[in-house]
Amino acid sequence: MSRADLAREIGLTKVTVSAVVAELIDEGIIIDIGPDDRPGVPGKRPTLLTLCEDHRRIVAVDLTREGRLSGAVMTLTGESMDRRRLETLLCLGPEGVDELTNFCQELIAASATPVLGVGVATPGLVSPDNNTVRAPKRGWSDLPLEGILTERLNLPVAVGNDANCAALGEFAFGATEGSYVLSILVGDGVGAGLVVDGSIVPGPKGGAGEVAHVTATVNGDGAPWGTPTTCVCGRSGCLGTLLSEPELREALKGLDEAASEAWLRAVGQRLGAILAPIVAVLDLSDIVLAGPTDLLDGPLLEAAHDSLRERVWPSMNPIPRLAMSAIEDRAPLVGAGVLVLSRTLGIP
Amino acid sequence: MSRADLAREIGLTKVTVSAVVAELIDEGIIIDIGPDDRPGVPGKRPTLLTLCEDHRRIVAVDLTREGRLSGAVMTLTGESMDRRRLETLLCLGPEGVDELTNFCQELIAASATPVLGVGVATPGLVSPDNNTVRAPKRGWSDLPLEGILTERLNLPVAVGNDANCAALGEFAFGATEGSYVLSILVGDGVGAGLVVDGSIVPGPKGGAGEVAHVTATVNGDGAPWGTPTTCVCGRSGCLGTLLSEPELREALKGLDEAASEAWLRAVGQRLGAILAPIVAVLDLSDIVLAGPTDLLDGPLLEAAHDSLRERVWPSMNPIPRLAMSAIEDRAPLVGAGVLVLSRTLGIP
DNA sequence: TCTAATAGTTAGTACACCATACTATCAGTC
DNA sequence: GACTGATAGTATGGTGTACTAACTATTAGA
């Protein structure tokens, strides 16, 4: 891009853009790669600029899976340069924070260039007010993770809910088409994340996207499951008792192909029914499913799509794109990186 | 409020606030009402300030009901000073725009003090890009209403979807408790509007809140209606075929009290089932129902509440407040006024 | 009476952005 | 081949918004 392009894009004047660009060139963040010689419109040839990807790196960590720390050193454009994994059973309570700190420090040390900041995608509730984390499964209640890590690492730290980060990752580097993106993350449980115009919608207390305990069944609705499983919440029919990796694998155990497909279709159909009101209220442009491809990508996804099309009328606006994640299990990780970008550089 | 209070509230320094306040006092928008003599904390007594409500008025018009123009001259704090109504059958196509213009001019002329701007709540889709209106029922397709009115009235004009305006009105002047407000407007049809942190969530193309054609029934779900009515969209079971003033009145015709109540409960139950996924994804703090009180406030509302409580687990966050509108049919009107405030004064 | 807290002012400064005017360069046309 | 009009980028000065620092005035309570 040239300075003039930037000015048009951002809406600032050429003068202002030139001044800012000069500053960024001084700092080494932007590089002047000379005039664009391709003939086209009349006028002086623009001088092209490019982002120096090696100027700063981002460290991102994903805590989605229980017993695993997943991390990466990324460029400013979301490319993972160095991915690491740590299988551990200790990541609970205060010890978990220590372990996380060490893991971050390792990644920071592994970065070839200075680190812009550290992004963390964690399960549980992240309060939008004070950024404390409430994750019962991790033994964290109102843990000021951002503050602790900022102090220990001496770097800007951004903490976000994993499903929200996933949505952000899909929006920024996935195959999404629009600006209203819902991401459904299927792992040990189910979580959803919503991104509108590039910003996470956290909910008033950080509880948005907690869809595991929405009732997905209707009494006697003719699904292959007989009596629905009782959920940890004490009720039955929760989405989480149907749609999660362990639950699905358990349910499909011993079923033949036809029965498996019927089961998956039934789950997909219920997912679609839950998505329908959300699609209508938000006019979503994209819904992205992330999780085990062998389970989700097939009858389940198709049934969800069919169910959605049956239950929402595309009169004013088309049905959203509903597809598997193009960046798969990297979504929360990449999204945590984007969170750092938006916090430190104000993007967007 | 005093200058110091304002500074704390807004986050600017006392100096800056003092400067701005001085300017606003000069312009007559703020009035200095002398020192606060109530003893309390130590220190110099604050000098209290108040908004001069008579400095500017807002003109708001609501086009929700077919065949009716509903308008008001309002103070900056949302109080209606002069409400007017015009029953007309002409409000279609370009003639409708002429009529609307005249109605606005009447209201502007009726205002005792200068008018800050004009807000219009209209059914149909209002594009968030260029603010054109698409309302098939009004014979408007991609009508640049905001531009036309701005030019004709020579005043700032803000046009918004009626349900969205209603949600904004509820948030600003209703009895809502939190910052994530969903408003359900029941009139000739059903519409929903969503406000997050004081801003309307319009959807990527202005289509958010179009819930009339979400399927609300499930095959053989044991409701009092036998075969569900066929909707104008050609399908059956749409929320709009159950929940709208004409449909409800038609359905209750000839039913005894018990049967009426059963019907209303069944509709409320379906409404709750539709709301559940939305509540979970957004962690809504308030849901407000606006429309005919005799139909909505009673078994329908109760059933919706019960159904919602059954289908969402309040583990992390409480179930949202679900109640009838405290400002009733004024919500879209007041919301249109708030839209003017946020556009012209940048609130919030 | 003294101290600590609070409200509000004055003076000077930093920053981001803008408008205007300028130079340099190109495509196309008479 | 000079002229016109469009485009890219720079130089200069101005404006609006906000800040910090230091000050005065006032009050409750030890």
Which of A218, A283, A317, A321 should one mutate to test binding to chain B, selecting the residue with the greatest count of B CBs within 10 A?
Answer: A283
Q: Which of A204, A210, A310 sits opposite B180 (nearest CB)?
A: A204
Angle at B93 between CA B89 and CA B94, to 5 degrees: 110
With an 8 Å Cβ cutoff, is B184 touching chain A? Answer: no
pLDDT recorded at residue A21: 92
Q: At A339, is the secondary structure helix, strand, or coil? A: helix
The mean per-residue pLDDT over the stretch A115-133 comes to: 90
Task: Tell me which chain A residues have a C-beta less than 8 angstroms from the C-beta of B194.
Answer: 281-282
Residue pLDDT, tens place only, A190-213:
999 999 999 999 999 999 999 999
Q: A42 CA to C28 C1', in Å?
A: 9
User: Looking at chain A, which residue has its C-alpha nearest residue B182?
Assistant: A281
- How far is residue B67's CA from residue B234's CA, in Å, rounded to a whole number? 26
Residue pLDDT, tens place only, B248-275:
999 999 899 999 999 999 999 999 999 9
Residue A14, pLDDT above cutoff 80: yes
The mean per-residue pLDDT over the stretch B206-226 comes to: 83
Residues B34 and B146 reside in one and the same domain: no
* Smallest Cα distance from B127 to chain A, Å: 11
Residue A25 falls within a domain, yes or no? yes
Residue B81, pLDDT above cutoff 70: yes
B128-144: buried (b, 16+ CB within 10 Å) or exposed (e) per residue?
Answer: beebbbbbeebebeebb
Spacing of C-alpha A50 from chain mean position: 27
pLDDT recorded at residue B265: 95
- How far is residue A337's CA from residue B134's CA, in Å, rounded to a whole number? 39
Strand D and A46 CB separated by under 7 Å:
yes
Confidence of residue A347 (pLDDT cuts 50, 70, 90): low
Dihedral angle, C-alpha A91, A92, A98, A101, nearest 10 °: 50
- How far is residue B22's CA from residue B11's CA, in Å, rounded to a whole number? 18
- How far is residue A277's CA from residue A287's CA, in Å, rounded to a whole number? 13
Nearest to A203 by CA among B201, B202, B213: B201
The mean per-residue pLDDT over the stretch B227-243 comes to: 86
Residue pLDDT, tens place only, B16-71:
999 999 989 888 889 998 888 777 788 888 999 998 888 899 999 999 988 899 99
* Smallest Cα distance from A282 to chain B, Å: 5
Q: What percent of chain B has pLDDT over 70?
A: 97
Residues B35 and B161 reside in one and the same domain: no
pLDDT recorded at residue B348: 60
**Count of positions (residues) in chain B:** 348
Q: Across chain A, how many H-helices and E-strands are there?
A: 10, 15
Average pLDDT, chain A: 90
Are the C-beta atoms of A255 and A312 separated by less than 8 Å? no
Residue pLDDT, tens place only, B159-185:
999 999 999 999 999 999 999 999 999
The nucleotide lying nearest B12 (C-alpha to C1') is: D18
Q: Which of A180, A214, A311 sits opposite B215 (nearest CB)?
A: A311
Residue A333 falls within a domain, yes or no? no
pLDDT recorded at residue B225: 81
* Smallest Cα distance from A28 to chain B, Å: 34
Residues B204 and B161 reside in one and the same domain: no
CB contact under 8 A, B214 and A311: yes
Are the C-beta atoms of A208 and B281 separated by less than 8 Å? yes
pLDDT recorded at residue B219: 62
Residue A69 falls within a domain, yes or no? yes
Residues B317 and B183 reside in one and the same domain: yes
Residue pLDDT, tens place only, B283-307:
999 999 999 999 999 999 999 999 9
pLDDT recorded at residue B278: 97
Residue A145, pLDDT above cutoff 80: yes
**Strand C bases with any atom < 7 A from protein Cβ:** 4-12, 16-21, 24-28
Residues B228 and B296 reside in one and the same domain: yes
Domain count, chain B: 3
Q: Near strand C (CB < 7 A), which residues? A: A 11-13, 15-16, 19-20, 35, 39, 41-45; B 2-5, 14-15, 18, 21-22, 41-47
CB contact under 8 A, B233 and A312: no
With an 8 Å Cβ cutoff, is B173 touching chain A? Answer: no
Residue A276, pLDDT above cutoff 70: yes
A153-171: buried (b, 16+ CB within 10 Å) or exposed (e) per residue?
Answer: bebbbbbbbbbbbbbbbbb
**Strand D bases with any atom < 7 A from protein Cβ:** 5-13, 17-22, 25-29
Residues B263 and B303 reside in one and the same domain: yes
> Would you call the peptide bond into B348 cis, given omega within 30 degrees of 0 as the criterion?
yes
Residues B156 and B131 reside in one and the same domain: yes
Nearest to A99 by CA among A139, A126, A127, A136: A139
Residue A220, pLDDT above cutoff 60: no
Residue A302 falls within a domain, yes or no? yes
Residue A64 falls within a domain, yes or no? yes
Nearest to B183 by CA among B284, B89, B92, B258: B284
Residues B240 and B293 reside in one and the same domain: yes
Residues B233 and B127 reside in one and the same domain: no
Q: A13 CA to D10 C1', in Å?
A: 13
The mean per-residue pLDDT over the stretch B106-135 comes to: 91
With an 8 Å Cβ cutoff, is B179 touching chain A? Answer: yes
Confidence of residue B90 (pLDDT cuts 50, 70, 90): low
Q: Which of A178, A192, A311 sits opposite B204 (nearest CB)?
A: A178
Rounded to a whole number of angstroms, the CA Rg of chain A reads: 22
The nucleotide lying nearest B47 (C-alpha to C1') is: C7
Residues A84 and A29 reside in one and the same domain: no
Q: Which of A201, A205, A280 sits opposite B211 (nearest CB)?
A: A280
Task: Tell me which chain A residues have a C-beta less than 8 angstroms from the C-beta of B180.
Answer: 203-204
Residue A335 falls within a domain, yes or no? no
Residues B180 and B313 reside in one and the same domain: yes
C-alpha to C-alpha distances, A191 to A144, A237, B83, nearest whole angstrom: 22, 16, 47
User: Looking at chain B, which residue has its C-alpha nearest residue A210?
Assistant: B280
CB contact under 8 A, A205 and B283: yes
Which of B281, B283, B286 should one mutate to test binding to chain A, selecting the residue with the greatest count of A CBs within 10 A?
Answer: B281
Residue A282, pLDDT above cutoff 90: yes
pLDDT recorded at residue B139: 87
* Smallest Cα distance from B197 to chain A, Å: 8
Residue pLDDT, tens place only, A72-98:
999 988 888 889 998 887 667 888 899
pLDDT recorded at residue B94: 84
Residues B187 and B316 reside in one and the same domain: yes
User: Looking at chain B, which residue has its C-alpha nearest residue A314?
Assistant: B213
Confidence of residue A18 (pLDDT cuts 50, 70, 90): very high
pLDDT recorded at residue A348: 61
CATH of the domain at A181: 3.30.420.40
pLDDT recorded at residue A90: 63
Strand D and A3 CB separated by under 7 Å:
yes
Residue A332 falls within a domain, yes or no? no
Cβ pairs A/B, distance under 8 A? 137
Strand D and B346 CB separated by under 7 Å:
no
Confidence of residue B221 (pLDDT cuts 50, 70, 90): low
CB contact under 8 A, B204 and A179: yes
Task: Tell me which chain A residues have a C-beta less than 8 angstroms from the C-beta of B203.
Answer: 180, 282-283, 317
Q: What percent of chain A has pLDDT over 90?
A: 66
pLDDT recorded at residue B13: 92
For residue A24, what are the domain limits?
3-51
